[in-house]
Amino acid sequence: MNDRLEGVSTFVQVVEAGSFALAAERLDLTRSAVGKAIARLGVRLLHRTTRNQSLTAEGQAYYERCLRALSELDAAEADLDQGRLEPTGRLRVSVPNAFGHFCVAPVLLGLMQKYPKLQVDLSFSDRRVDLVEEGFDLAIRVGDLSDTDTLTARSLCTQHISIGASPTYLAAHGTPSSIEDLDGHTGIGYSRAGALAPWDAKAADGRSHLVRIQSRISMDDIQAIASAAIDGVGLAWLPCWLLARYVRSGQLVAVMNNYRVRSQEIYAVWPTVRHLRCKTRVAVDALVAEVPGLMDA
**Among 134, 135, 159, 166, which Cα is nearest to 254's?**
166
Question: Which string of DSSP letters, residue by residue, matches 128-168?
Answer: ---HHHHT-SEEEEES--TT-TTEEEEEEEEEEEEEEE-HH
How confident is the model over 79-137, as pLDDT tens digits?
A: 565 555 688 899 999 999 999 999 999 999 999 999 999 999 999 998 888 888 888 99
* Separation of first and last alpha carbons in the chain: 53
Statement: residue 243 has pLDDT above 90: yes
| CA 215 to each of CA 184, 212, 290: distance values in angstroms, whole numbers, following the listed order | 10, 9, 36
Domains of the chain: 2-74 (1.10.10.10), 89-155+265-295 (3.40.190.10), 159-263 (3.40.190.290)
Distance CA 266, CA 107 (A): 15
Residues paired with 70 in a beta bridge:
none
* DSSP bridge pairs for 48: 53
Return the number of other C-beta atoms located less than 10 Å from residue 49's C-beta. 7
- Adjacent-strand bridge partners of 190: 219
Closest Cα to residue 234, out of 281, 294, 149, 174? 174
Angle formed by the axes of helices 20-27 and 31-39, to 10°?
100
Q: Quick one: pLDDT at residue 21?
A: 82
Lowest mean pLDDT among 1-15, 53-67, 90-104, 223-237: 1-15
Give me the mean pLDDT over the 2-8 stretch.
Answer: 69
More confident of the two residues 294 and 198? 294
